[in-house]
């Protein structure tokens, strides 16, 4: 936001009744604003006296991701899958082990100094815990004045105050005085998350990296924050990466969804296709274990989807094979390539290979998915397996 935008009126926010109440963003053909190209991050962990070789954590391996202006992309995975590390790599908080980050089409390395400050003003990270991102002994006014002074040093004090009032209006916190005189602990989690979004807006960013932005908030206020992020994404044409463990919210909030498992992307496509026709057995497990009011009440449920593998010694071949009910011999030794399923939906899973063993296992997988989404009564109407085509 430039200084000339002071006083801009704020469009009414989408009523916080249903995040589906606005249309999903359409596929944008605009050039990417931020890209991860084959990025890998291996951390060297503290050396173990019982091991001769250094301990390396394979946090992120060979990930490609594209963020486009005005579009919300979800990154879904369980705790420890590497999704938050990937967001921090995109924010250039850690140097890459290999690969590159492209900002507006150009490879960009900005891990320190002026280049880093310029980069973070365009690529803003919004963290899960708003309380942890504020100085507890500074008033909100002081925190916001500091942020505006950094990004708009040309503004005088009175102009800065007007600028801050406008920022708070954009995140629906009015009148501003009701919030600026307070300390962080005097505000609710939802109010503080709105202020952290306002602080990010002070930099006039092109990209938001929102790392679990609503998971620490009460369920009743999550929808309001998601609707606010959606409105800002559309109005300002920023690219938004929505990092979450909740695949159900990704379905309604994001235009496209990528699923991460043990440091690798294993499936990606439009949110509709990834959640309605999940191809990878891990994505199917995530969906089957998520609460879904539209699923028949008596459908089979998965209470425990098992534990993720160690990233110090990740499994060979497909990293999901120790947990996968459809694992074949090759899954244990060969990493699956990317299989394109049409309409920009792809997965890394040997079930989609073009041979008899994969086809047979794929049929088993489809039957298992059917059992997880249909009620027992509906399943009894299915023809016996032998009569199926």
Nearest approach, Cβ of 322 to ligand SF4 (angstroms)?
Answer: 8
Look up residue 247 and give its DSSP letter. Answer: H
196: CB partners within 8 A, 6+ apart: 126, 127, 130, 133, 134
Closer to ligand SF4 by Cβ: residue 134 or 352: 352
Q: Which pairs count as long-range contacts for 7-14, CB under 8 Å and 24+ apart, including other chains?
A: 7/162, 7/166, 8/166, 10/169, 10/170, 10/172, 11/231, 11/235, 13/172, 13/224, 13/227, 13/228, 13/231, 14/227, 14/230, 14/231
Nearest approach, Cβ of 350 to ligand SF4 (angstroms)?
Answer: 4
Nearest approach, Cβ of 40 to ligand SF4 (angstroms)?
Answer: 20
- The answer to whether the CB of 16 falls within 8 A of the CB of 227 is yes
Beta strand segments in 18-152, E: 34-44, 56-67, 72-76, 98-103, 106-107, 123-126
Closer to ligand SF4 by Cβ: residue 67 or 349: 349
Closer to ligand SF4 by Cβ: residue 1 or 351: 351
Nearest approach, Cβ of 331 to ligand SF4 (angstroms)?
Answer: 3
Closer to ligand SF4 by Cβ: residue 6 or 351: 351
Closer to ligand SF4 by Cβ: residue 101 or 328: 328
Closer to ligand SF4 by Cβ: residue 189 or 322: 322
As to burial, measured by CB atoms within 10 angstroms (0-12 exposed, 13-18 middle, 19+ buried), residue 370 is middle
Q: Which residues bind ligand SF4 (CB under 6 A)?
A: 280-281, 318, 320-321, 324, 326-328, 331, 336, 349-351
Nearest approach, Cβ of 320 to ligand SF4 (angstroms)?
Answer: 4
Nearest approach, Cβ of 78 to ligand SF4 (angstroms)?
Answer: 15
């Amino acid at each position: 936001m430039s200084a000339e935008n002071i006083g801009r009126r704020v469009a009414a926010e989408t009523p916080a009744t249903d995040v589906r109440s606005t249309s999903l963003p359409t596929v944008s053909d605009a050039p990417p604003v931020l890209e991860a190209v084959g990025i890998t991050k291996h951390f060297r962990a503290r050396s173990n006296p019982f091991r001769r070789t250094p301990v390396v954590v394979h946090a992120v391996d060979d990930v490609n991701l594209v963020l486009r202006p005005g579009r919300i992309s979800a990154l879904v995975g369980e705790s420890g899958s590497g999704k938050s590390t990937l967001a921090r790599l995109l924010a250039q908080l850690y140097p890459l082990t290999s690969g590159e980050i492209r900002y507006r089409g150009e490879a960009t390395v900005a891990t320190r100094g002026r280049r880093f400050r310029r980069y973070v003003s365009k690529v803003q990270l919004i963290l899960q815990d708003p309380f942890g991102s504020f100085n507890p002994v500074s008033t909100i006014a002081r925190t916001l004045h500091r942020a505006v002074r950094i990004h708009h040093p040309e503004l005088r004090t009175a102009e800065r105050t007007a600028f801050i009032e406008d920022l708070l209006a954009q995140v629906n916190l009015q009148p501003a005085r009701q919030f600026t005189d307070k300390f962080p602990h005097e505000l609710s989690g939802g109010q503080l998350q709105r202020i952290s979004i306002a602080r990010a807006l002070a930099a006039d960013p092109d990209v938001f990296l929102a790392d679990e932005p609503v998971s620490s908030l009460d369920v009743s206020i999550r929808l309001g924050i998601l609707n606010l992020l959606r409105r800002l994404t559309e109005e300002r044409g920023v690219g938004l990466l929505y990092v979450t463990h909740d695949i159900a919210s990704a379905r309604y909030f994001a235009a496209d969804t990528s699923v991460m498992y043990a440091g690798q992307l294993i499936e990606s496509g439009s949110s509709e296709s990834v959640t309605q026709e999940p191809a990878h057995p891990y994505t199917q497990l995530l969906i089957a274990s998520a609460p879904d009011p539209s699923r028949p009440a008596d459908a089979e449920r998965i209470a425990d989807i098992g534990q993720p593998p160690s990233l110090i010694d990740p499994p060979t071949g497909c990293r999901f094979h120790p947990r996968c009910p459809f694992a074949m011999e090759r899954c244990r030794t060969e990493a699956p390539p990317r299989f394109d399923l049409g309409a920009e939906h792809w997965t890394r899973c040997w079930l989609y290979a073009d041979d008899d063993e994969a086809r047979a296992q794929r049929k088993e997988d489809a039957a298992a998915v059917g059992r997880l989404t249909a009620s027992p009564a509906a399943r009894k109407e299915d023809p016996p397996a032998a009569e199926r085509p």
